[in-house]
Amino acid sequence: MSEPAFALQSNVDKLELRTTLEWGAIAIAAPHTMEIILYFGTFYFAGLAQWTVLKRITNQVNQHLPYSEQYVASIWAFSPRSVRSPINEIKVWRLHRQFFPESYLPWLHLATWVLMIVFFVLCVQFDRSHSIAHPGVVVATSL
């Protein structure tokens, strides 16, 4: 009768060991997870800000253009006059500088592009630096 009780105690010890190892891995991984969430969140909101600024620039330019020459600012527009095309984006940039020479919006648009690129690079760098297991984490493969 002592053997089944010993086997049960052995399984409990393994379960406690596994739980301890998992909590240690979570404690080590939690700050790194928050870091990538911060980088990706900043990248996402920089993209959202870039889109908002571009849409505002396009709306201001469209006020000075005839209806047939206006640019489409929708994400879902598949039009040759869509502002999402890089060539049209440059044209809208130039027209905005022509119509509104004192405006800061084109420079804000450029700043959001730079912000997006910087945080994209940070996300990629973070992913590469944390793609292997942390040296302090012990991974239990079997019980």
- pLDDT tens for 9-49 read 455 455 454 554 454 555 555 666 777 788 778 888 888 88
Instruction: Give every residue of the chain whose pLDDT is below 50, as ranges.
Output: 1-2, 5-9, 12, 15, 17, 20-21, 23
pLDDT at 66: 92
Structure tokens at 68: 């047939």
Q: Which of 38, 37, 43, 35 is nearest to 114 (CA)?
A: 43
Percent of the chain whose predicted confidence (pLDDT) is above 90 = 17
Burial of 1 (0-12, 13-18, 19+ CB in 10 A): exposed
Q: Which of 138, 143, 141 is nearest to 21 (CA)?
A: 138
Q: Over the chain, what is the mean pLDDT?
A: 75
Report how far residue 38's alpha carbon sits from residue 28's, in angstroms, rounded to the nearest whole number: 17
pLDDT at 47: 84
- Please report, for the chain, the start and end positions of each structural domain, with discontinuous segments joined by +: 32-129
Q: Does the reported pTM lie above 0.85?
A: no
Report how far residue 87's alpha carbon sits from residue 83's, in angstroms, rounded to the nearest whole number: 8
